[in-house]
């Protein structure tokens, strides 16, 4: 575990890190000398109790905490049978740290789980049987609890796209379900959906007709939300089995803005492969789920040009990155990170295919002449934040 902690400590701004088991006992550490266990144990145990309390009240998983002090910061990653604690400077580049910390946390969780019965004696969350009971109790009357809802969600996605098309609406699937719809390897590489959610893209000029199409399928619009935010996002909900639709209007905006102008007609069910890949590569705080989706897309699809529906349009990706330095920076970091971590997720044959395509994509992005706007922003560099955070 100490070697894994050393990888985290190598990130600029990190002062030290340690791991606690489910009892709050420190099982590994890489800390500067002034810090000792007696000072850390009360903090570690308090945070474990805080995470357990949040999960109980919110009825959902708490993945991490970001605790900011006057002149320092603590990033906490929930390992399910303990926690990873990272002590760092207050102004650290958190998204950059998370690229390393999220992957390291996954490895630490596996090590902690294998370390013996004492580590599992007091888990931070309820056992699986009790979790299942909690989910069933939280579900609304008549609501189904689905272990892996992939097939159900894909069926409903096809229904929604078809119903919209009958009214002349260009509705397209995006997100993890879109990856599963167009990538055979996603069944093996990607993670199952965490809930009954579907994400779509639509043109703003068609949003009025979309209400009628979705209501015809039994989805109720969230009228207050849609009235306030309908120019950029629409939400619908089906009471049974509880499927929620999240529809992005004209633009998919997470860490960067991905416009859909003249793009949705290029593919039949999902947004085009290049857009789907960009929707994952734009995530600054990339987690395992997003990384696996990137692997699935590039393992299954060769690089190509406009008009080749079953290939990733590198020209379009290059044009997005050549016009916006922020896009370029995030995409480049995430391509490099996906190559660095490929051994943890793919077999030899898949790894060779992915790395070859990822490197060619990176070379293609670098080769495109950059706009004056890109060059001006590039001179500022990382001195100013180049991305948005979804919660903002």
Q: What one-character-per-residue DSSP string does 69-131 give?
A: -SSEEEEEEE-SSEEEEEEEETT--HHHHHHHHHHHHHHHHHHHHHS-HHHHSS-SS--HHHH
Whole-number pLDDT of residue 328: 98
pLDDT tens for 210-231 read: 999 999 999 999 999 999 999 9
174 vs 349: which has the higher pLDDT: 174
User: Does residue 135 surpass a pLDDT of 80?
Assistant: no
User: Does residue 95 surpass a pLDDT of 90?
Assistant: no
User: Does residue 191 surpass a pLDDT of 60?
Assistant: yes
Nearest to 199 by CA among 276, 127, 142: 276
Q: Using DSSP, how many helices (H) and how many strands (E) does the chain show?
A: 16, 14
In which band, very low, low, confident or very high, does the pLDDT at 55 lie, cut at 50, 70 and 90? Answer: low
List where CATH 3.30.450.30 sits in the chain: 2-134
The half-sphere exposure of 284 on its side-chain side, counting CA atoms within 13 A, is: 21
Whole-number pLDDT of residue 139: 39
User: Does residue 392 surpass a pLDDT of 70?
Assistant: no
Nearest to 195 by CA among 241, 129, 162: 241
Nearest to 146 by CA among 186, 200, 212, 192: 192
Q: What is the pairing mode between strands 244-249 and 312-313? A: unpaired
Choice among 32-46, 130-144, 163-177 with the minimum mean pLDDT: 130-144
Nearest to 104 by CA among 2, 21, 255: 2
Q: What is the pairing mode between strands 172-174 and 244-249? A: unpaired
Please check whether residue 345 is in contact with residue 295, taking contact to mean a CB–CB distance below 8 angstroms: yes
Of 2.40.30.10, 3.30.450.30, 3.40.50.1580, 1.10.10.10, which CATH number belongs to 2-134?
A: 3.30.450.30
Mean pLDDT over the full length of the chain? 85
pLDDT tens for 235-261 read: 999 877 788 999 999 999 999 999 999
Task: Give the mean model confidence (pLDDT) for residues 166-175.
Answer: 95
In which band, very low, low, confident or very high, does the pLDDT at 342 lie, cut at 50, 70 and 90? Answer: very high
Whole-number pLDDT of residue 28: 86
User: Does residue 141 surpass a pLDDT of 60?
Assistant: no
Whole-number pLDDT of residue 172: 97
| Cβ count near 220 (within 10 Å) | 13
Task: Work out the angle at residue 365's Cα, subtended by the Cα atoms of residues 351 and 317, and round it to the nearest 5 degrees.
Answer: 90
């Amino acid at each position: 575990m100490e070697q894994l902690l050393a990888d985290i400590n190598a990130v600029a701004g990190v002062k030290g890190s340690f791991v606690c088991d489910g009892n709050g006992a420190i099982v590994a550490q890489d800390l500067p000398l002034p810090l000792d266990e007696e000072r850390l144990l009360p903090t570690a145990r308090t945070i474990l109790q805080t995470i357990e309390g949040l999960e109980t009240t919110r009825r959902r998983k708490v993945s991490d905490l970001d605790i900011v002090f006057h002149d320092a910061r603590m990033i906490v990653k929930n390992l399910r049978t303990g926690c990873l604690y990272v002590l760092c400077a207050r102004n650290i580049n958190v998204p950059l740290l998370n690229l390393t910390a999220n992957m390291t946390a996954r490895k630490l969780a596996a090590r902690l789980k294998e370390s013996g019965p004492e580590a599992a004696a007091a888990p931070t969350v309820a056992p699986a049987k009790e979790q299942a009971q909690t989910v069933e109790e939280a579900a609304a009357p008549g609501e189904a609890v689905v272990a892996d809802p992939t097939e159900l969600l894909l069926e409903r996605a096809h229904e929604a796209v078809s119903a919209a098309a009958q009214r002349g609406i260009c509705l397209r699937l995006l997100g993890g379900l879109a990856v599963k719809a167009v990538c055979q390897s996603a069944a093996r590489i990607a993670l199952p959906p965490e809930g009954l959610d579907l994400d779509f893209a639509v043109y703003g000029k068609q949003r009025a007709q979309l209400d009628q199409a979705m209501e015809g399928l039994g989805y109720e619009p969230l009228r207050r939300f849609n009235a306030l935010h309908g120019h950029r996002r629409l939400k619908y909900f089906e009471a049974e089995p509880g499927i929620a639709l999240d529809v992005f209007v004209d633009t998919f905006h997470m860490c960067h803005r991905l416009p859909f102008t003249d793009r949705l007609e290029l593919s039949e069910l999902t947004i085009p492969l290049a857009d789907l890949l960009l929707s994952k590569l734009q995530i600054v705080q990339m987690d395992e789920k997003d990384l696996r989706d990137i692997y699935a897309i590039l393992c299954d699809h060769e690089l190509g040009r406009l008009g080749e529906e079953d290939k990733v349009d590198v020209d379009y990706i290059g044009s997005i990155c050549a016009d916006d330095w922020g896009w370029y920076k995030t995409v480049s970091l995430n391509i490099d990170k996906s190559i660095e971590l490929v051994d943890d997720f793919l077999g030899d044959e898949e790894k060779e295919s992915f790395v070859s395509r990822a490197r060619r994509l990176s070379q293609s992005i670098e080769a495109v002449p950059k706009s004056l706007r890109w060059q001006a922003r590039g001179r500022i560099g990382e001195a100013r934040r180049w991305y948005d955070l979804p919660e903002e």
